[in-house]
A and B are shown apart, each in its own frame.
Chain A
Amino acid sequence: MIAVVDYGVGNLFSLCASLEFLNVESVVTADKSVLEKADGIILPGVGAFEDAAKKLSENGLDTFLCEQAKNGKPLMGICLGMQMLFDKSYEYGEHRGLGLIKGEVCDLNLDVENLKVPQIGWNSLTFRQNEDSLVKYIKEGSHVYYVHSFYAKNCDESIVAYSNYGVDVPGIVRNGNVCGTQFHPEKSGEVGLNILKAFVETAEGKN
């Protein structure tokens, strides 16, 4: 069973529909006992970092997720959920993240020239770690759908795949059992479904 963390950030319709489409048993919850029993946890998120971090800490979910991750629970962050896995973010100030992956989240606008920010659209993935379990069902060069204004930086060792948008934007990152995607797999067609499928299979011990 896969648990999707419910902390009032963003629209979960498509993520839940994708999991259902893949015949994955899933639950949307903020209940720690349910999250603890799950084979894997997905941390979604759309919106502002500070607000999301605050909501996560209100229920003590931040500390809980860190404990779970340290105990080996497969954890996948999506979009803002991925950004929250890093040490800190510079989105409107400086905010502490979960610190599960080394690196920081920075403003794309400060690092790219002559490109629109947010990056909205389909971009191709270049692999750094083609053995990673998350990319086992997709080909290098596959396109995925991004919507974001901030991106992870100084996280070289955790990059599984990236997309170029003026700079190399980490698209898939991993540190052990903790992973994340900057793009939206639940909006990236077949490619996205295959990434979710790979995560679920690993979580459920099928690969």
Chain B
Amino acid sequence: MITKRIIPCLDIRDGRVVKGKNFEGIRDVEDPTELAKYYNQSGADELVFYDITASFEGRALFTDVLTKVASEIFIPLTVGGSVNTVDDFDRILKCGADKVSVNSGAIKNPSLIGEAAKRYGDQCVVLSMDVKRVDGKFTVFAKGGRENTGIDALKWAEDGVKNGAGELVVNSIDTDGVKGGFDLEMLEAICDRVNVPVIASGGAGNMEHFLTLFNTLPKVDAGLAASIFHFKQVDIMELKEYLNNNSIPMRRI
């Protein structure tokens, strides 16, 4: 039986992890390789790296980090952040990533999804979308949630998949950071429109939120979170055991 996936997300700036608390056994929590290894040992099913570097030098550092992580950790790696061209896909995949996630880049140039899918296969292309309710309508936001694009999120998801996106990450701006649970209403609306894996993001505050997510929406394939894992409000190993005990199939390591 296929399992549900638990995915921690690491924000990287200039080759260092942006947020993180002191973990037992990790000397340097800002070292992406150390933190990635820790998550791998805790049973993370996949890792997502977001490159939030603004400079050229920082980007080169990121590439080094990615190569190092991919040489030591053998689970799926997804990379996002500043992906605007097919060349960005090329650069990232050559460093050992398995999937590339596009967000604002696809809004600026919607044909990017199709071009990348044609060259690298649908399984490589993850469409990541930041969504917020505007006048009761699910609307796509760009630039890390700062800019209202006016694009209808349901249609955007559907078109993205049609053009070749192999997975969707749906991040609800409305629930993000609130830690009151995932945005079930938004996720359900999007799941109803697509037939590729949907990764839920935004709003997880505790283990029960993951259980509610998978129980309420069987079509959701994975739960993604950042700070609750970094600040150890939720331990991945405990979370997976808890979900397993509650009849949600999980990979055991």
Contacts and interface: CB of A to CB of B under 8 A. Distances in A.
B215 to A, nearest CB: 17
B40 interface: yes
B207 to A, nearest CB: 20
Interface of A: 11, 13-14, 17-18, 20-21, 46-47, 116-124, 141, 143, 145-147, 163-165, 186-190, 192-193
A120 B2 CA distance: 9
B156 to A, nearest CB: 19
A200 to B, nearest CB: 15
7 contacts: A121-B5, A121-B221, A122-B251, A123-B2, A143-B3, A145-B75, A189-B40
B72 interface: yes
Contacts, number: 82
A146 B95 CA distance: 21
B252 to A, nearest CB: 7
Contact of A47 (B70, B71, B121): B121
Interface string B92-106: 011110100000000
Interface of B: 1-3, 5, 40, 45, 70-72, 74-76, 93-96, 98, 121-123, 166-167, 195-197, 221-222, 251-253
Given A121-B3, A124-B1, A146-B2, 17 more contacts: A11-B94, A14-B70, A18-B74, A21-B71, A21-B72, A119-B2, A120-B166, A120-B197, A121-B2, A121-B45, A121-B197, A122-B2, A122-B5, A145-B75, A189-B75, A189-B253, A192-B74
Nearest to B122: A118
Contacts of B121: 46-47
A187 B98 contact: yes
Interface of B is mostly: loop
Nearest to A143: B251
User: Which 10 pairs from chain A and chain B are nearest by CB?
Assistant: A143-B251, A13-B96, A122-B251, A17-B71, A122-B3, A123-B2, A147-B123, A121-B2, A120-B197, A189-B75
B212 to A, nearest CB: 20
Contacts of A120: 123, 166-167, 197, 221
A171 to B, nearest CB: 12
Given A20-B71, A123-B1, A186-B74, A14 B98 contact: yes
Contacts of B5: 121-122
Nearest to A17: B71
Candidate in B40, B94, B96, B98 with the most chain A CB atoms within 10 angstroms = B98
Nearest to A48: B121
A119 to B, nearest CB: 7
Contacts of A13: 70, 93-96
Contacts of A119: 2
Nearest to B93: A11
Contacts of B221: 116, 120-121
A118 B166 contact: yes
Contacts of B166: 118, 120
Contacts of B167: 120
Contacts of B95: 13
Contacts of B72: 17, 21
Contacts of A145: 75-76
Contacts of B122: 118
B69 to A, nearest CB: 10
Most B Cβ at <10 Å: residue of A21, A122, A145: A122
A193 B93 contact: no
A118 B1 CA distance: 15
A189 B72 CA distance: 10
A173 to B, nearest CB: 20
A93 B195 CA distance: 23
Contacts of A47: 121
Contacts of B251: 122, 143
A119 B252 CA distance: 19
Nearest to B94: A13
A156 B30 CA distance: 50
A186 B73 CA distance: 9
A93 to B, nearest CB: 18
B253 A187 contact: no
